Amino acid sequence: MCGIVAYIGPKDATTFLLEGLQRLEYRGYDSAGVAVLGKSGALKVCKTKGRVADLAAALPARFKGTTGIGHTRWATHGEPSDANAHPHTDNAERIAVVHNGIIENADELRAKLTAEGAVFRSETDTEVLSHLVAAHLGDGEGQLEDAVRAALKLVVGTYGIAVVDSAQPDRIVVARNGSPIVLGLGEKEMFAASDVAALVRYTRQVVHLEDGELAVVRADGFRTFTEDARTVTRQPSTVDWEVGSYDTGGYEHYLLKEIHEQPAAVERTLSGRLDERFATAHLGGLNLDARELREIRRVKILGCGSAYYAGEMGAQLIEELARIPAHSEPASEFRYRNPVIEADTLYVAVSQSGETYDTLAAVQEIKRKGGRVLGVVNTVGSAIARECDGGIYLHAGPEISVASTKAFTSTVIAFALLALHFGRIHDLSPADGRRIVSALKALPGHIRQILEQDKEIAELAAKYADNAGMMFIGRVRGYPVAREGAQKLKEISYVHAEAYPASELKHGPLALISPELPTVALVPDDELLDKNLTTLGEIKARSGRVLAVAHRAPEAKLADHCILVPKSEPELDPLLLNIPLQLLAYHAAVALGRDVDKPRNLAKSVTVE
């Protein structure tokens, strides 16, 4: 939820810290701060409520140092304020700490430290870390890395941290447990961050810390070790993505760029995975052979928010193509209900970031009970990807905007591949396999056709944006589309949006229909078309306004406006029907003057419970 950066080297740290924080701002953006150590070792801290731009404006002119740490925050303990912003220091202002995660036993530690004389100046859980590290350093000459290691032994919770000590300006100590930390290797300089996005302009050589690992980082290198002081060797890897993948690339917002990147993202998700000869999909990372897959009787998909809705589309694909019962459930609910784990159920965890704490906890719970979990994940090497027994990487590319678009679409593609693979192992005929393979290949072109309507959809969004709310309806395959469409609209435009199965409308929500509550209706040209048209008639009969997203425009008396979408195979239609809803939400948010990429109260990766 928070972004961490750190620099040590010959240059002024502040330049990297501010730029790195700007690139990580999508992880949290209610306050920001930096701490640097100058050549003399004096600790300087500047932090403020607000954005990284506010921090840059607040920095004193002579705020310079060659060792530094920075943080952009999404509040968990304590409101967004200058005092609660990171870095946090000890009473002697010797230690500074930035932290991403949650210290679960913070109250207990705070009481103990207070009794020992520590004076707390914030409401955060993080501040206990600075006092704890200071307490372990004492007045002596102890090494910072030993003090951090000893302090973390007392901590229960999740963390990615970076710590500096004004008495030891030649090093930064970082540690990871549940929240990512990546080291960046430079020429006589070293970087660290919670995401490679902050590093790629400076270095492509990175080292991902594992949970339970620490590193002492100096300008000329690093040493990684475990919580029990055992040295571990980590080989650097090279970041695959170009620097430009982390920029807006000339678009006004990351979100618009990511919506328009979808044809290329889908091509990457499909790349090398379609087998035309056997009309199936190759998924090398599943780590399950055909015999093992045949033994699976049920599929349970787990994810949060849009990942959960993509899972709903995935469940329908698996049921339709493989005829295996499949169901998607919010991971955030699953993990708390003592779930029954069955040997013949395949569990699939979905996550763009690979960091979502609820999803990670669900995976851990399944594994603890002996279940088998696959991951459908975008971020390579992320916590969820590593925790799973196998899986499918999306290769959608970095997704920076808080609202998920291209990762959502690529997730549905990954499920289509899984369903095809499953289906062809079971009873899906070669002819049906070929039908799906050729439809998948056509999808990037179909998405491009929809994106060409950007301008027309922007005009429609302007017409609908100023309503207090909107209803989204879809039947069966269209229902997850409606849910994701409503989610996107409320997330970035703050317009209330409610998704309902079209079939359920007359069982209650029809009472809401009025000219002030327009309906976005998913109307695919499939076996349920007549039923959907009947529902439109019922809405129009109650003076409701209808914006249809359809393969064929309904009669004018049934819909006020229509966005046309190219027809795919019925099983894949939901994926295409969703694309205009992304543009609708985006343009509605722009029309309302919202902060599209960083909507209020949210953050990109939800690494807390």
DSSP 488-552: HHHHHH--EEEEEEGGGGGGTGGGG-STTS-EEEEE-SSTTHHHHHHHHHHHHTTT--EEEEESS
Stretch that binds ligand AGP, among 193-201, 349-357, 460-468, 530-538 (CB under 6 A): 349-357
CB of 373 to ligand AGP, least distance (A): 14
Q: Which of residues 211 and 484 has its CB atom nearest to ligand AGP in the complex? A: 484
Pick the binder of ligand AGP from 328, 352, 535, 607 (CB under 6 A). 352
CB 268 within 8 Å of CB 396: yes
Alpha carbons within 13 angstroms on the beta-carbon side of residue 394 total: 33
Q: Which of residues 76 and 351 has its CB atom nearest to ligand AGP in the complex? A: 351
Alpha-carbon distance 2 to 181, whole Å? 12
The residue ranges of DSSP E strands in 136-181, in sequence order, are: 157-165, 172-177
By CB under 6 A, the residues from 210 to 269 that bind ligand AGP are none
Task: Determine, following the binding rule CB under 6 A, whether residue 402 of this chain makes contact with ligand AGP.
Answer: yes
CB of 4 to ligand AGP, least distance (A): 18
CB of 118 to ligand AGP, least distance (A): 35
Q: Is 304 labeled as catalytic in the residue annotation?
A: no
Classified as helix, coil or strand, 462 is helix
What are the structure tokens assigned to 331, written together?
A: 């991971």
Q: Which of residues 94 and 490 has its CB atom nearest to ligand AGP in the complex? A: 490
Binding mask 578-607 for ligand AGP (x = CB under 6 A): ---------------------------xx-
Pick the binder of ligand AGP from 359, 493, 568, 607 (CB under 6 A). 359
Q: Which of residues 125 and 491 has its CB atom nearest to ligand AGP in the complex? A: 491
Q: Which of residues 122 and 378 has its CB atom nearest to ligand AGP in the complex? A: 378
Q: Which of 2, 46, 388, 562 is an active site residue? A: 2
CB of 571 to ligand AGP, least distance (A): 23
Q: Which of residues 90 and 211 has its CB atom nearest to ligand AGP in the complex? A: 211
Amino acid at 53: A
CB of 492 to ligand AGP, least distance (A): 8
CB of 497 to ligand AGP, least distance (A): 13
Planar angle of CA 397, 398, 404, nearest 5 degrees: 100
Q: Which of residues 402 and 546 has its CB atom nearest to ligand AGP in the complex? A: 402
Pick the binder of ligand AGP from 179, 404, 568, 578 (CB under 6 A). 404
DSSP 563-597: EE-----GGGHHHHHHHHHHHHHHHHHHHTT--TT
Q: Which of residues 222 and 254 has its CB atom nearest to ligand AGP in the complex? A: 254
CB of 100 to ligand AGP, least distance (A): 15
Alpha-carbon distance 163 to 173, whole Å? 5
CB of 488 to ligand AGP, least distance (A): 6
Classified as helix, coil or strand, 147 is helix
- Residue written as tokens 């949210």? 602
CB of 291 to ligand AGP, least distance (A): 31
Task: Determine, following the binding rule CB under 6 A, whether residue 351 of this chain makes contact with ligand AGP.
Answer: yes
* Adjacent-strand bridge partners of 158: 102
Dihedral (Cα; 46, 49, 54, 56), 10-degree rounding: 20
Stretch that binds ligand AGP, among 132-140, 204-212, 226-234, 300-308 (CB under 6 A): 300-308
Q: Is 604 labeled as catalytic in the residue annotation?
A: yes
Stretch that binds ligand AGP, among 129-137, 214-222, 400-408, 431-439 (CB under 6 A): 400-408
Alpha-carbon distance 300 to 342, whole Å? 10
Cα distances (angstroms) measured from residue 25 to each of 35, 301, 356: 17, 30, 17
| Nearest alpha-carbon partner for 596 in 369, 302, 332, 400 | 400
CB of 357 to ligand AGP, least distance (A): 9
**What crossing angle do the helices spanning 573-591 and 430-451 adopt, rounded to 10°?**
20
Binding mask 69-108 for ligand AGP (x = CB under 6 A): ----------------------------------------
What are the structure tokens assigned to 565, written together?
A: 């979408």
Alpha-carbon distance 203 to 474, whole Å? 47
CB of 2 to ligand AGP, least distance (A): 15
Alpha-carbon distance 355 to 194, whole Å? 11
Task: Determine, following the binding rule CB under 6 A, whether residue 197 of this chain makes contact with ligand AGP.
Answer: no
Alpha carbons within 13 angstroms on the beta-carbon side of residue 473 total: 28
Q: Which of residues 169 and 180 has its CB atom nearest to ligand AGP in the complex? A: 180
Alpha-carbon distance 91 to 396, whole Å? 46
Task: Determine, following the binding rule CB under 6 A, whether residue 417 of this chain makes contact with ligand AGP.
Answer: no
**What crossing angle do the helices spanning 573-591 and 306-322 adopt, rounded to 10°?**
160
Pick the binder of ligand AGP from 20, 28, 305, 544 (CB under 6 A). 305
Q: Which of 47, 406, 540, 604 is an active site residue? A: 604
CB of 450 to ligand AGP, least distance (A): 19
Stretch that binds ligand AGP, among 84-92, 303-311, 443-451, 460-468 (CB under 6 A): 303-311
Residue count, binding to ligand AGP (CB under 6 A): 15
Alpha-carbon distance 210 to 207, whole Å? 9
Binding mask 488-507 for ligand AGP (x = CB under 6 A): ---x----------------
What are the structure tokens assigned to 379, written together?
A: 């971020």
Alpha-carbon distance 55 to 58, whole Å? 5
| Nearest alpha-carbon partner for 419 in 545, 317, 280 | 317
Pick the binder of ligand AGP from 373, 403, 443, 528 (CB under 6 A). 403
| Nearest alpha-carbon partner for 547 in 538, 534, 536, 532 | 536
DSSP H or E stretch at residue 392:
strand 390-393
Task: Determine, following the binding rule CB under 6 A, whether residue 203 of this chain makes contact with ligand AGP.
Answer: no
Q: Which of residues 356 and 519 has its CB atom nearest to ligand AGP in the complex? A: 356
In 201-297, which ranges are continuous DSSP H helix? 254-260, 262-270, 290-294
CB 578 within 8 Å of CB 407: no
Pick the binder of ligand AGP from 353, 410, 493, 607 (CB under 6 A). 353
Q: Which of residues 35 and 360 has its CB atom nearest to ligand AGP in the complex? A: 360
Give the nearest residue (CB) to ligand AGP. Answer: 305
Q: Which of residues 4 and 489 has its CB atom nearest to ligand AGP in the complex? A: 489
Residue ranges that bind ligand AGP, judged by CB under 6 A? 304-307, 351-353, 356, 359, 402-404, 491, 605-606
Residues that are catalytic: 2, 604
